[in-house]
Structure 1
Amino acid sequence: MKWRGRRQSDNIEDRRQQTSAGGYRGGRRLPVRLPKGRGGRFGLVGILIIVGVSLFLGVDPAVLLQGGMQPVSQVENRQPVQGDEPSQFVAVVLADTEDTWHTLFANAQRQYEEPKLVIFSDTVNSACGYAQSAMGPFYCPGDRKVYLDLSFFQDLKNRFGAPGDFAQAYVIAHEVGHHIQTLLGISQQVNKQRSKLSKAEGNKLSVMLELQADCFAGIWAYYADNARQLLDAGDVGEALNAAAAIGDDRLQHQGTGRVVPDSFTHGTSRQRVRWFTKGFETGNVDTCNTFAAAEL
């Protein structure tokens, strides 16, 4: 990936020098509970409508939802990004996602709201609660921030067998994809609907949400390649390898030797590869409607 010498985002919080108390036992995502009275009258059909029209047809989902999740006010202890190469890489990738989504939102006559990205070590406190590095990168809709312990990139290479800088970039772009879903009101409606369903049915909605974020990551890769020529030969293969490496079926098989489809929350390796590829090949947000897809 041709990232050196490119613009770095200012939306980075470096908390690696801070000490966090407490702990958190969780998964790979941290949803936040919706405030009462926010978007509660839309069911799954409402989700399909919102996703189908999306902002790229000029419809403001906030109007449809009559308000959405508001960011939680927090006192930030911001520090400048240190001069190490991994943090510089993260800042460049985040900046490039900003370029892509600013353009797409502007084409829809809207203004893109940039997320923050927090670099931390070991544990971190977010609006969604305390989290440990072991859960991996995550996006918190409560404060609209992406959280990343840079040690995950070593895990991606050594534990999951997915090396390469573009594999790392895919992970960041996927979490930014969750930010896009929050701006569109999709995440809020999924969380609301999921609370009314059985665990297995709720997991299916979670899979749709995660696969859509993979598709959004693919859209970023499309523009990074076609508009700014960031990709080197083999980069797409690195991203696809990473997507496959963290599929629910592969992770479950590696962990327990068993695969339980009803417990999937992120999608199979094949599904994750398929939806990233959809975004990358088309660059079209309309192709990312996982909620209306006949087949995931």
Structure 2
Amino acid sequence: MRLDDERESSNIDDERGAGGSGGGRAPIRIGIGGLLLALGALYFGVDPKIVFSLLEGSASGGNQSAVVQQQSAQGPDPQKQFISRVLASTEDVWTSYFQQLGRTYHEPRLVLFTGAVQSACGYAQASMGPFYCPADQKVYLDLAFFQELKNRLGAGGDFAQAYVVAHEIGHHVQNELGIMEKVNGRNGGLTERGATSASVRTELQADCFAGVWAKRADDARKILQSGDIQEGLNAAAAVGDDRLERAGQGYVVPDSFTHGTSAQRANWFNRGLQSGDIRQCDTFSAPSL
């Protein structure tokens, strides 16, 4: 990605080293006029049992947060700068898009943490992965997640990281547009699971919104380089429910899906990437996903 000359966002809260690593594993619950169970566990909400089976026996995973924290204290932090520039790019794209809609985009904040963090949606450990909390309009990210994405799921590269951030910002866009509130009202919270559930449709739409950002950012600033799009598609596919379930437990249970299959996630990301139009991201009206 070509981001070296781009501005950095001022909406970064660096809380690395401020959190603890203790405490029990607790589900993330999101409140939008009530409790909304959304981003359950690692890799955008997969069943924690699958996640922990994937991480079991890892000798290095538990130390990655400490490594990130140590690096941040030694001076320049290229990874933080990169994330800040990606965030700034999403701010520019969505501010412009909302202006076209006659609306105002309220920029979210992104919190970098290590080990564990307390959000308005509850306590979360790094093993739960990146998540967006509508209650405080913040994205929470432990940078060690990107090592897991690369080493364990085979989805490395700078644009794969940008996709992760853009997906979570996609949830903020949903929140800004009132989509989350409407879905929560219809379903009493995204506690349902299954291949065609509201939870899956919500996550696939966030993937599509990530693609919309990439298309519009590239049109405006020519940020994409050769291989970037494939990195994004690889990252989207890497975190599909079917792939993670097969890796974690050896078989797939569609009734347990919360985020969609690898093919669906890559398809909806690509749909946003090709169109640059949020009207093409209506997963809730789509007869098939």
TM-score normalised according to structure 2 size: 0.82
Match of 1:258 in 2: 251
Contact 1:195 1:202 in 2 (8 A): no
Match of 1:143 in 2: 136
Unaligned stretches of 5+ residues in structure 2: 36-74
Q: Show the 5 A alignment for 1:127-142.
A: 127-142=120-135
CA deviations on 1:118-162 (whole Å, 9 max, x unpaired) are 000010000000001111100000000000000001111001100
Match of 1:228 in 2: 221
Q: Structure 2 CA distance, aligned partners of 1:227 and 1:125?
A: 36
Contact 2:195 2:254 in 1 (8 A): no
Contact 2:195 2:257 in 1 (8 A): no
Q: Structure 2 CA distance, aligned partners of 1:197 and 1:209?
A: 9
Decide which of 183, 192, 211 is 2:204's aligned counterpart: 211
Match of 1:60 in 2: none
Match of 2:55 in 1: none
Instruction: Point out the more displaced range, 18-27 or 210-219.
Output: 18-27
Contact 2:194 2:200 in 1 (8 A): no
Per-residue deviation at 1:115?
0.2
CA shift in 2, pair 1:143/1:253, >3 Å: same
Matched, 1:244 2:243: no
Q: Structure 1 CA distance, aligned partners of 2:235 and 2:78?
A: 21
Matched, 1:3 2:18: no
Specify the SS of the correspondent of 2:221: coil
TM-score normalised according to structure 1 size: 0.80
Match of 2:30 in 1: 31
Per-residue deviation at 1:203?
7.2
Q: Show the 5 A alignment for 1:93-104.
A: 93-104=86-97
Matched, 1:86 2:79: yes
Per-residue deviation at 1:191?
2.5
Contact 1:24 1:129 in 2 (8 A): no
Q: Structure 2 CA distance, aligned partners of 1:115 and 1:158?
A: 29
Match of 1:13 in 2: 13
State, as a whole percentage, how many aligned pairs show the same letter. Answer: 54
CA RMSD of aligned residues (A): 2.1
Q: How many equivalent residue pairs?
A: 251
Matched, 1:166 2:159: yes
Per-residue deviation at 1:22?
5.4
Unaligned stretches of 5+ residues in structure 1: 37-81
Q: Structure 2 CA distance, aligned partners of 1:196 and 1:223?
A: 31
Per-residue deviation at 1:192?
3.1
AA in 1 matched with 2:31 = V
Specify the SS of the correspondent of 1:208: helix
Q: Structure 2 CA distance, aligned partners of 1:203 and 1:23?
A: 34
CA deviations on 1:245-273 (whole Å, 9 max, x unpaired) are 00000000000001000110000000001
Q: Structure 1 CA distance, aligned partners of 2:117 and 2:189?
A: 30
